[in-house]
């Protein structure tokens, strides 16, 4: 169905090294709550077993589905940490990246 994990943000990103949560599911599963359920379990493990003080996430302003998952999980939007994704072309509408942070 997909994957959900916490890992260090890729070195190519301005937030490199921060613990980043991400999910990618096949479109047939979208809108059924799987991303939220899986991400909640991953965050519980990150804060419980791993004792991380925070977990970051980022998405484009256009990715409303991911933003909705982040809101359901209780992540807080941090506009002061937003950045331009250096891997996206300059004219790509998905180049802006909005940052969200979860804390225990």
Spatial contact of 60 and 97, defined as CB atoms under 8 Å apart:
yes
CB atoms inside a 10 Å sphere around CB 98: 20
For residues 68 and 29, what is the distance between their CA atoms, to the nearest angstrom? 15
In this prediction, residue 93 carries a pLDDT of 81
Tell me how far apart the alpha carbons of residues 56 and 7 are, in angstroms, rounded to a whole number: 10
The CATH topology of domain 2-102 is Aminopeptidase (3.40.630)
Tens of pLDDT, residue by residue, the chain (104 residues): 999 999 999 898 889 999 999 999 999 999 999 999 999 999 999 999 999 999 999 999 999 999 999 999 999 999 999 999 888 888 888 889 999 999 99
What pLDDT does 104 receive?
A: 95
Q: Give pTM, 2 decimals.
A: 0.89
């Amino acid at each position: 169905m997909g994957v959900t994990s916490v890992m260090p943000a890729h070195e190519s990103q301005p937030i490199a090294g921060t613990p980043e949560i991400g999910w990618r599911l096949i479109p047939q599963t979208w809108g059924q709550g799987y991303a939220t359920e899986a991400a909640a379990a991953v965050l519980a493990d990150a804060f419980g077993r791993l004792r991380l003080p925070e977990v970051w996430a980022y998405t484009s302003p256009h990715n409303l589905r991911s933003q909705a998952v982040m809101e359901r999980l209780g992540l807080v939007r941090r506009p002061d940490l937003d950045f331009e994704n250096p891997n996206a072309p300059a004219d790509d509408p998905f180049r802006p990246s909005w940052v969200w942070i979860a804390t225990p």
